[in-house]
Structure 1
Amino acid sequence: MTELLTEKAANQIVKGWQGHLNLSYAYRNDTTQIIHNEVQAPLKVQRPFYPEGKKVCHSVILHTAGGVVGGDSLSMNFQLEPDAKTLITTAAAGKIYRSSGLEARQTIEIKIAKDAYLEWLPQETIVFNGAIYRQDLRVELEPEASVLLWEITRFGRTARGERFVSGEWRSHVEVWQQGHPLWIDRQVVKGEEMLTSPHGLGGYPVLASLAWVGQPVTGEIVEKARLLWQNTPFFDEGKSGQIQLSAGVTRLTNGLLCRYRGSSTAAARRWLIGVWELLRLSGRDRAICLPRVWPN
């Protein structure tokens, strides 16, 4: 099987890929290390990188099949021991191909121990027209642990004029701490119905979210995150040529939530990077370090 599957060839695989990735991190000898690494194709992890020093481990996940198709079932488990600090991203944009009727699914389980934190920052996902996809992510935080999650999703290959008029995308996210829910998020996009609805995407093809959970934020941080959006030169423009505000910032019970809907993954990424840097400096007193696999 070649690394890069076409839609037609991929959907001929009835059973689909059953891949998994289990990673455990520990802070030992002043270094965050991977102490357990178990993989099954098509998932793979590159060797760890330390572009910001030994205390923060950067990991890059690869999907060697090139995309997800109906019938695929992928699972990832990340576990951080006390004081471990980890950033995990993906090597390239994810692709969810058109389905012949079977659902594709991805499940992520994360456990973060005391004084540890994880930044889960995958590159954007492109959901092809006709895709049927569900992703579930659950985080268990111990006291004084925290997590930063983001997701950038484009519905349809809009550069080719494709719209997401059929198919279904579901995202379920839960963050818990000692049996108490800190953030529960449910999102569903069903083709044209939610793509065009003013209560859904309002005609925009890009949806993005960032959640920082596990540490309280001040009203000042919320205001700064909003100003980051308002003061940047990459707003989306509507048909009238007027600037359209397509972002929002909310303070959670123990964290921060940012939302974007628009037409540009680059705009979403730049704003979320700005928020990430703001949170890093305020909560960790450490500047961000962009993963080397990200596009410039």
Structure 2
Amino acid sequence: MAWHAELSIRYFRDNERTTALDRHQGPLRVLQRLYPEGPRTCHHVLVHPPGGVAGGDELHLSLQLEPGTHALLTTPGATRFYRSAGETALQSVKATLQGDARLEWLPLEAIAHDACRAENHLRFELQDQAQMMGCDVIALGLPAAGDPWRRGSFLQHMELPGVWLERGHLDAADTRLLDSPLGWAGQRVLATLWFASAQPLPAALREALLEAGRALCEGEPRAGVTSPSPRVVVLRMLAARVEPAQRLLQQVWMRWRESAWQLPPCPPRVWRT
């Protein structure tokens, strides 16, 4: 039986506190609101009790951040896209940020298991003075466990409407893309981190984000930082394993957080469990 789940969360200000109301259908939930760095920033952990996404499953998450709110969302573990008998597994995230809202979208990695057929759609609409940081890590198979990705497909769509669009279709049979030195070069993990703003970034801040990211990427020959738009700075990395990619993304995320928002690092506690 396929799972169909929807979760919508509205973040709003209650005096100085960012609070939230959520509605859900199906097995996609959000845990208790946490405030490890004070009332302004709400930390949320998204959970999907079935533990993975199989062919025919659909997960839909909708976020609305009202002016003055700040939300950080993560997951307790990897999102696993399992083998499919033919149907596609779909996960979609749509977020709208109003006013001067801030969002940190920081899920742990997605794992494409052998023979999966999956799509992952991310769309973030930033209005007024809103800003966000987001990350996305996709791992193809489990090579360390002797379970490589030999069959299947994965479509990745990341969009800031009118500003930045990344859309790629991965096919396990496309060895020219996955193994060519002009493509994935035999690596099986692609990690992306971005900082985005509804308005063009001040030149000094944009340069500071680029310099900080590039400094932390030194020694990583398959990592780089670019600015495809005056509103966006993007880090990308190819790796053989998830762990080094996650370490780099988390280091750069913490540095960007300090540079852009003058906020000290506050990694979600669930990352340490």
Residues 70-121 of structure 1 show CA distances to partners (whole Å, capped at 9, x for unaligned) of 0001100000000100000112111110111110011111000010010010
Q: Residues 197, 188 of structure 1: CA spacing in aligned structure 2 closer, same or farther, 3 A cutoff?
A: farther
Equivalent of residue 12 in structure 2, options 26, 35, 43: 26
Whichever residue aligns with residue 211 of structure 1, its letter is W
Q: Counterparts in 2 of 1:28-107, with a 5 A limit? A: 28-34=14-20, 36-107=21-92
* Match among 162, 169, 194 for residue 188 of structure 1: 169
Q: Residue 268 of structure 2 aligns with which residue?
A: 291
Question: Which residue of structure 1 aligns with residue 215 of structure 2?
Answer: 227
Say if 1:94 and 1:126, in contact at 8 Å, map to a contact too: yes
Residue in 1 that maps onto 2:194: 211
Aligned-residue offset at 1:33: 0.2
| Aligned counterparts of 1:256 and 1:44: Cα–Cα separation in 2 | 31
Within 5 A, what are the aligned runs for 1:143-162?
Answer: 143-162=128-147
Identity of aligned residues (%): 34
- Contact kept? 1:78, 1:111, Cα under 8 Å: yes
Instruction: Tell me the distance in 1 between the aligned counterparts of 2:4 and 2:135.
Output: 24
Runs of 5+ consecutive residues of structure 2 not aligned to the other structure:
none
Q: 1:281: which partner in 2?
A: 258
Q: Is 2:185 aligned against 1:197?
A: no
Q: Tell me how large the CA RMSD over aligned residues is.
A: 1.4
Structure 1 position 47, deviation (Å):
0.7
The Cα of 1:149 is off from its aligned counterpart by: 1.2
Residues in 2 aligned to 1:188 and 1:130: alpha-carbon distance in whole angstroms? 15
Match of 1:247 among 223, 226, 239: 223
Greater Cα offset, 75-84 or 271-280? 271-280
Q: Give the deviation of 1:220 after TM superposition.
A: 3.5
Matched, 1:108 2:89: no
Return the alpha-carbon distance in structure 2 between the equivalents of residues 151 and 59 of structure 1. 17
Normalised to the residue count of structure 2, the TM-score between the two structures is 0.93
Unaligned runs of 5+ in 1: 1-12, 236-244
